[in-house]
Amino acid sequence: MKRSNAIAAIDIGSTKVTALVADVNEYGQARVLGVGVAPAAGLSRGVIDNIQSAREAVGTAVEKAEQSCGMRILSGVVAIHGSHLNSQNNRGIVAITDRSEPITTDDRERAVEVAGQISIPTNRQVVHVIPRGYWIEGTDPVSDPVGMYGARLDAETHIVTAAVSAVQNLTKCVEDAGVQVDEIVLGSLAAATGSLTTEERAQGVAAVDIGGSTTSICVYDENAVAHTATLALGGAHLTQDLARLLRCPWESAERLKCEHGSALTGEEVGSVEVEVRAFGTNSRKRVSAGHVAEILQARTEEILEMVAIELKRAGYLDRLAAGLVLTGGTSQLRGIDELAEQRLDLPARVGGPRGCTGLTDLIATPAYATVVGLAKHALRGTAAQQPAGARRDVQEAGFFRRIAAFGRAFIPQ
Residues 130-145 have pLDDT tens digits of 999 999 998 888 989 9
| CA distance readout (Å), 188 to 79, 117, 185, 229, 378 | 9, 22, 9, 8, 15
CB 371 within 8 A of CB 363: yes
Alpha-carbon span 213 to 129, nearest angstrom: 26
pLDDT value of position 280: 75
pLDDT bucket at 269, cuts 50 / 70 / 90: low
Is 199 within 8 Å of 322 (Cβ atoms)? yes
Residue spans of the domains in the chain: they are 86-164, 236-300
How far is 138 from 104, CA to CA, in rounded Å?
18
Superfamily of segment(s) 236-300: ATPase, substrate binding domain, subdomain 4 (3.90.640.10)
Among candidate residues 378, 287, 385, 371, the one with its CA nearest the CA of residue 37: 371
Closest by CA to 368, choosing from 53, 15, 104, 84, is 15
Q: What is the model's pLDDT at position 117?
A: 94
204: left (phi over 0), alpha (psi -120 to 50) or beta: left
Choose the weakest-confidence range: 39-53, 78-92, 236-250: 39-53
Task: Give CA–CA dist 161/86, Å, rounded.
Answer: 5
Mean pLDDT of 275-290: 82
Render pLDDT for 249-268 as a digit per residue (tens, 0 to 9): 999 999 999 998 999 987 56
pTM exceeds 0.85 for this model: yes
pLDDT of residue 281: 67
pLDDT at residue 391 in the model: 36
CA distance 129 to 161: 9
Give the class (CATH, top level) of 86-164: alpha beta
Least confident of 5-19, 96-110, 207-221, 256-270: 256-270
